[in-house]
Structure 1
């Protein structure tokens, strides 16, 4: 096995995953990038390796394909010492539940929930071989509130939150530290940018760049902080929303989210 320590990042081809890849490389960390086939991640990995002088390994496969997931992770854990896992891969969307295809709903669940859990379970024995290791799971501010017209996505992110905090407690006293990050709005692509801009001032509250979120999340995860909410306005929003009855905050947030349907 390669004696170097690696950070493995899922959903690494663009957006927050790409920002994590660059942030880790800038810290001198060797990285393993996981992304969908055809996502140009090989080119990204070559560019990062050349710029930062770190080893970059790229694996392109679909995390919802159980056989591919097991096969590739068996190869990775057999050849590379992974000491840091960043579960970033995820997907969502905005639409009426009755108009959302069963296939889309299943894909969100398979990627956000099953994919995250299986990757974590398969990596934990190898993470524990290191004197110090880390898991960073990416949840969302959406995890704190049931949201109409998204429904499955915030539920999946609430799962990630609960799953991460349970792991944190389970592995307390070991060398494995678990953190969960709750990002707010990010302009990661043209679709999300149109959606955020379309919401006006409210949509831009708590807006941070993927680079800023990655930098903060890395610093606090390495410091062992269990829950991370990037951005002052997002922390204020979470505090204010936490005192409202769930029906009220769900109604308030859902009313704003409904405006996103035109951009879906």
Structure 2
């Protein structure tokens, strides 16, 4: 297949929540899109709607990025296109007692949040380097700044994304590629998450932004070539608390907040 002359933005996890918001905003900016999502998530419908609404090209590709064969099929496919922006958004989380979580659940989280992100970035660097200017945006979380009981693997995976992104940014400092990492706070992204977000109390409740608000801030800061992006003043303040409060105190507070959520999910499951 001959490589197209048009440039594309590649977004993983693009069918709902933050990924969908990124797709809408990028399309509005007249960026052509390659939208990656799980099968049967109406990503084709989204691609068609964005094409018709904004007059851009939107290509949908369905794949399970936790599966090695799917991941490498995505890579082989997208290498046929000129890509000047990679948004590694796909990820999974949730609250569960570690011993109650299945190994499949934990493995999928590591495979999606870490391995697929690293693999896509590594394999697409040569493609991005062919452009005059290119961008990588990796989506971490405010959770990256603290260990969390009843989430254990999720914040650890997001801490990896933060560390990886900062290191890669330094390596590519004098190249054509700008690397940024974003740390969103709580967002109503799907039905289950929305229910949990609505139950938030205290300062955390005021840190909630919509996916659209979060995506707008992230893209604006990315194009300004900021390295660490924390959308929202309350999320920025919360990130400071998480980074500078003594860890035993953090864990005590988070244990009290997250244990009921994990217990409720366990009883409903």
TM more than 0.5: yes
| Pair 1:263–1:195, CA change in 2 (3 A) | farther
Aligned to 2:35: 33
Q: Could you tell me how far apart the structure 2 residues matched to 1:82 and 1:199 are?
A: 39
Query: How well do the aligned residues superpose, as a CA RMSD in angstroms?
Result: 1.1
Structure-to-structure mapping, 1:120-199, within 5 angstroms = 120-199=121-200
Q: Could you tell me how far apart the structure 1 residues matched to 2:109 and 2:137 are?
A: 19
Q: CA shift at 1:106, angstroms?
A: 0.5
Instruction: Give per-residue Cα distances to partners, 1:47-101, cap 9 Å, x unaligned.
Output: 0110011000110011111122112211211x21011000000001111111100
Q: CA shift at 1:241, angstroms?
A: 3.0
Instruction: Give per-residue Cα distances to partners, 1:174-225, cap 9 Å, x unaligned.
Output: 1100000000000111211211222333441310000001011001101110
Q: Could you tell me how far apart the structure 2 residues matched to 1:202 and 1:258 are?
A: 18
Find the partner of 1:57 among 56, 59, 62.
59
When structure 1 is superposed on structure 2, of 190-199 and 54-63 the one drifting more is 190-199
Q: Could you tell me how far apart the structure 1 residues matched to 2:140 and 2:154 are?
A: 10
Q: Could you tell me how far apart the structure 1 residues matched to 2:251 and 2:164 are?
A: 22
Q: Could you tell me how far apart the structure 1 residues matched to 2:261 and 2:197 are?
A: 8
| Pair 1:40–1:238, CA change in 2 (3 A) | same
Find the partner of 1:8 among 3, 10, 14.
10
The answer as to whether partners of 2:169 and 2:179 remain within 8 angstroms in 1 is yes
Q: Could you tell me how far apart the structure 2 residues matched to 1:91 and 1:238 are?
A: 20
Aligned to 2:115: 114
Aligned to 1:225: 226
The answer as to whether partners of 2:96 and 2:265 remain within 8 angstroms in 1 is no
What are structure 1's unaligned runs of at least 5 residues?
none
Q: CA shift at 1:248, angstroms?
A: 1.4
SS at match of 1:183: coil
Q: Could you tell me how far apart the structure 1 residues matched to 2:258 and 2:188 are?
A: 16
Q: CA shift at 1:33, angstroms?
A: 0.2
Q: Could you tell me how far apart the structure 1 residues matched to 2:220 and 2:132 are?
A: 19
Q: Could you tell me how far apart the structure 2 residues matched to 1:171 and 1:72 are?
A: 24
Aligned to 1:76: 78
Q: Could you tell me how far apart the structure 2 residues matched to 1:240 and 1:144 are?
A: 9
Q: CA shift at 1:257, angstroms?
A: 1.7
